[in-house]
Chain A
Amino acid sequence: MLEHFKPDRLALREALRGLRYTVHTGGRMVLDHLSMASTGHTPALPGRHLLCDVENTAARLEAFGSDTIRFLLCEHTPSSRSMQALYELGFEEKQFARVVYDNLRLFLQQFGIRYAIVSELAARQAHARLPANLIDLPEHEAAALIASSLVDAGVIREGPVGLKSLRSKETDLAIAALLFWLLSDRSPEEDDQTRLAAADMALAVEDEIVAALKQKDKVALSALFEELAPHV
């Protein structure tokens, strides 16, 4: 639907995603408050019928907002390409950013981060910062550079506006888990199982990942990917 918007389509898409996030989290917060209020000790609250009406309206608004924005975004099936597949396709910027956007969100959820936005625009910027000869490097070395670049580009943003980058131990682990998963040898049927395994693997070597990313130690990170990614 937005195909005719030639200039900065991705920026518009990011703005719509931010809006969807706001609608979603706003709706959830209303529902959470209402749920707490209906079970708590709040004598000044309106009657139960009114509460139910407001709750239903909030849920409908959230669903309508999300559906409308999804329609405007024309979002397609999530991409689960592996590192090898990205390499074979020339490690193209748009495909890379799409894979990061589609999957990093899932890893963030696995690490319990609910209020964050993955910026596809920042993922493209991370791609632009990678060395031109990346495709000539072994995959585990490239993965270490990619992980650092994603961290530096602030690909994970604080919700709801998504302008400020968010960095914590969990965001570093989510990025490392994404790379473990991209490097893993898997069939499409194994996507979900391997995603869980990649997240648990990152958690199991949490100290090593956090230290390597903090010290920007790409050699250590590369060694970790080489050692463990074949075992996801």
Chain B
Amino acid sequence: MSELSNSRRIWPSTNEPLRRAVRRLHWFRTAFISYTQEMEKRIGVECEVDEKKLAAIFIAWLRAVNAQKPSSAKARSAYFDFAASLMLRELIGNMPLKAKTTPQLVDENSAAAFWPEGYICTLFCLAVHDAVVKQEFNVPLPQRPPIDNIRSWWSFRENALEDSRFAAGFLQRLMGHEPNWAMPDIFTIPVEDG
């Protein structure tokens, strides 16, 4: 799915830097809906999007991000990663998607087939993160662990449905970090940055 993450055409046009655009509800909503439509085509599924939930998710995410924003500029890059994980926490905790069909274009044992809604939300957060980081820092993204391990997704779904904070840790792990599983949604400045 990396080619989808890097595709600019799915993002709504904006004159602002993406880091600002993503903090606007009208951009966020349009981006989420466009991304979901692309993923529907890719994995052969049909989803419903609850736009009211999307607005509530956006506000909760915005408030969470603002509450923990570090003062140190050195922590900026790490905070971009963390902000993406908070976005997934909110999406999983108040799931705005509902798959109306079973994915037809993927293996039945794949993550996308196992939990299409969680899969789309996770990839959305990664895609937005990658687009923002690419624009802000203009550096290649680090190599990531494989994301299609079905056992990880099984554990992710079980745990996140019980406690949505787990979703933040899951995304941090997908980005190559080792999360603090006791408090995955509390930002700590990485030693090398602080």
Contact yes or no, A203 B24, CB < 8 A: no
Contact yes or no, B29 A231, CB < 8 A: no
Cβ of B23: which chain A residues have Cβ within 8 Å of it? 231
Q: Specify which of B15, B25, B56, B62 is in contact with A197 (CB 8 Å cutoff).
A: B25
Q: Is the interface of A mostly helix, strand, loop or mixed?
A: helix
Q: Is the interface of B mostly helix, strand, loop or mixed?
A: helix
Cβ of B25: which chain A residues have Cβ within 8 Å of it? 197, 200-201, 231-232
Cβ of B30: which chain A residues have Cβ within 8 Å of it? 193
For B30-69 the 0/1 string (1 means CB < 8 A from A) is 1000000000000000000001101110110010000000
- A196–B15 Cα distance when bound, in Å, is 20
Cβ of A232: which chain B residues have Cβ within 8 Å of it? 24-26
Contact yes or no, A197 B24, CB < 8 A: yes
Contact yes or no, A190 B59, CB < 8 A: no
A187, A190, A193, A231 — most chain B CB neighbours (10 Å): A231
Contact yes or no, A190 B58, CB < 8 A: no
Contact yes or no, B51 A200, CB < 8 A: yes
- A187–B15 Cα distance when bound, in Å, is 10
CB distance from A112 to the nearest CB of B (A): 12
Cβ of A193: which chain B residues have Cβ within 8 Å of it? 26, 30
Cβ of A200: which chain B residues have Cβ within 8 Å of it? 25, 29, 51-52, 54-55
Contact yes or no, B26 A196, CB < 8 A: yes
Q: How many residues on the B side are at the interface (Cβ–Cβ under 8 A)?
A: 15
Q: Report the nearest A residue to B53, measured CB to CB.
A: A204
- A20–B25 Cα distance when bound, in Å, is 35
Q: How many residues on the A side are at the interface (Cβ–Cβ under 8 A)?
A: 14
Contact yes or no, B52 A231, CB < 8 A: no
- A190–B25 Cα distance when bound, in Å, is 12
CB distance from B15 to the nearest CB of A (A): 8
CB distance from B40 to the nearest CB of A (A): 21
Q: Report the nearest A residue to B51, measured CB to CB.
A: A200
Contact yes or no, B59 A205, CB < 8 A: yes
CB distance from A184 to the nearest CB of B (A): 8
Q: Is A194 interfacial (CB 8 A cutoff)?
A: yes
Cβ of B56: which chain A residues have Cβ within 8 Å of it? 204
Contact yes or no, B55 A231, CB < 8 A: no
Cβ of B55: which chain A residues have Cβ within 8 Å of it? 197, 200-201, 203-204
- A228–B62 Cα distance when bound, in Å, is 9
Ranked 5 nearest A-B pairs via Cβ: A200-B55, A197-B26, A197-B25, A204-B55, A193-B26
Complex A-B: 27 CB contacts under 8 Å: A187-B15, A190-B26, A193-B30, A194-B26, A196-B26, A196-B29, A197-B24, A197-B26, A197-B29, A197-B55, A200-B25, A200-B29, A200-B54, A200-B55, A201-B25, A201-B55, A201-B59, A203-B55, A204-B52, A204-B55, A205-B59, A228-B59, A228-B62, A231-B23, A231-B24, A231-B25, A232-B24
CB within 8 Å of A: which residues of B?
15, 23-26, 29-30, 51-52, 54-56, 58-59, 62
CB within 8 Å of B: which residues of A?
187, 190, 193-194, 196-197, 200-201, 203-205, 228, 231-232
A187-B15, A196-B26, A197-B29 known; 4 other A-B pairs, CB under 8 Å? A200-B55, A203-B55, A205-B59, A228-B62
